[in-house]
Every structure is written in C-alpha cells, then in structure tokens.
Amino acid sequence: MAGNQFENALERLSMKVIVAVTEDIELPLTRNSKRKRSALLDTVRDSEAARQLIIAAGKKKTPDVVETSNPSELHHALQQLTVKEYLTTAGGGKFSRVNKRRRSTLIEAVERSPELQKLMISAAAAKEERVHEDRERALKRVCLQQEPQSTDDDHFLEEVEKSVHEKCLSNFIDRTENDATRQAVCITCAGEYFASEATEIALRDIHNKNVLRPFQVHPHQKLLDDMLLYHQAVFNKGEDPYGYICGSCLDNINVNKTPMLSLANNLWVREIPNELAMLVS
C-alpha cells in the first residue's frame, strides 16, 4: 500500500514541488535530474527518506475521500464491475496512468470522485439488470423445451381405426388400377402420357385448328380436318373421330399458338417402315 501511495503522490506532485520537498535531505540531484522528470523520479525512488517526504506531501495535496450517501451500495457496485468495465464506464481521461495499474488504485480514485461513484453505481445496476434478463430468457427457453408435447404425439404409433385403413387402401387401389395407369398418346405431339393427364376430345371440338395446319403440306402427310395429327392415335366413337391431347399442347391451342412439340411445328417425319419399326421395338 505504501508503494501505491508513493506512486500516487508522484503522479500528483510537480517537479518543482518534488525538488522543494526533498531539499532538506540533500538528494544527489544532477543537472539532468532537475531537467527531466524521469531522471528526478529515479533519484527519489532510491531514497527511503525522500519516499516518506513525497508520501506526506501527496497526502496534503490529496482531497479527502468523498463519502457516498450509501457506502454499501458503492461497495456492491465496485465488486460487480471488472477493471475493464471501470475504464469503459469512466471514459477517457478520468483515471491517471498510475490509477490504471491495479484494481485497488482504481477503487481509490472512484472513492475520491462523487461523479465516478454515480457512474459506477449506475453501471453496476445496468449490468445486474442485463444478467437478470439473460437468466429470464434462458429460463423461458428451458420451460418451452420441457413443455408436454401436443396430444397428437400421444397417439403416435397407435393402431389406426379400421375405417381409416380401408379408406387408405381404397385410395391406393383407385390410383394404381388399370384405368388410373392407362396411357394415351397425344394426337398433336405423339407423346405418351397417362390418360388421366390428357384430355379426350372430338376432333370437331378442337378450337383454333389453324395452329395445327402444317406450314408446307407434304404429299405423304395425312391431314384430318386440315390438321396434321398423329393419326395412329385417333380413334372413333360412333361416327366421330376422337383423340387425346396432353395438357401442354391443349394450353397452347387454346391461346391460338402452335404447340412447340407438335407435328405441325415442322416435326413431322414419314411413317417408319415396318422393317425399321421392328428394329426399334
């Protein structure tokens, strides 16, 4: 503690005062010591008598410790804060270089300043509030994790009712029976699709037939109602010819647009001879 008092006193006293205080003990002061503070302080530190005189002079210049209105509150606040929080709360210039060396010297500086006391008490209160809020949030997270699961999970892996089982089986059969998996060929693009994904339509009911006319008619093309269709996929119902059109082609026809993959869009080729058809199959 004596060392701290000595360093604090040196920090507060000027060179002129230090020289005046130590005149009676005849320190070996050189010309350099009287000009440079660092050299003067080194000389003073080497003399025990000079150290005592400096401490006494520092006490005379040091103001009395300011008593806070609530000493226990200040003590509690100082215990809650770290050294880094002391410096951050006080801001620059509030603590001297000597005060910053140790926690004890920082506390002494705070005890001498009513302004710093108020700052530290406020900072400690704010820190305690933040800690309390963090604990509350953590407690809420734990409570949410420990809440009982919904009642739906209570029935997990329980045997379902017979009606539910029968309904699921019926839906499966409906979606896998022959009618549901039956395929059909689109008469405009010759693509193969599930019949459920295409639309059965009479050729006379096709709108915007002009979009299915070829740009240049070939002698071997077989046109149906002036439309270039995949005639192998056309079938009759009574006296009317019918066919399936896929969703993409039908959407284009309805907006008076030639389907991109339609035979009429320069994608027609002659019928494959039986000799080549046998190789493909």
Share of the chain above pLDDT 70, in %: 85
Distance separating alpha carbons of residues 77 and 69, to the nearest angstrom = 13
**What Rg do the C-alpha atoms of the chain give, in angstroms?**
50
Do residues 13 and 54 make contact, with C-beta atoms less than 8 angstroms apart? Answer: yes
Lowest mean pLDDT among 24-28, 241-245, 256-260, 263-267: 24-28
Reported as a single tens digit per residue, the pLDDT across 40-57 is 777 777 777 877 877 777
Residue 66 has pLDDT above 50, yes or no: no
Reported as a single tens digit per residue, the pLDDT across 150-195 is 555 666 677 888 898 889 989 888 888 887 888 999 999 999 999 8
Share of the chain above pLDDT 90, in %: 23
Mean pLDDT score of the chain, rounded to an integer? 81
pLDDT score of 190: 92
Residue 98 has pLDDT above 80, yes or no: no
Instruction: State the CB neighbour count (10 A cutoff) for residue 60.
Output: 9
Do residues 228 and 268 make contact, with C-beta atoms less than 8 angstroms apart? Answer: yes
Q: What is the DSSP string of 113-181?
A: -HHHHHHHHHHHHHHHHHHHHHHHHHHHHHHHHHSPPPHHHHTTTPPPPHHHHHHHHHHHHHHHSHHHH
Q: How far is CA 178 from CA 77, 133, 183, 184, 217, in A?
A: 83, 65, 9, 12, 39
Reported as a single tens digit per residue, the pLDDT across 188-213 is 999 999 988 899 999 999 999 999 99
Reported as a single tens digit per residue, the pLDDT across 101-126 is 788 888 888 888 888 888 888 888 88
pTM of the model: 0.40
Whether the CA torsion 107, 110, 111, 116 is positive or negative: it is negative
pLDDT score of 65: 45
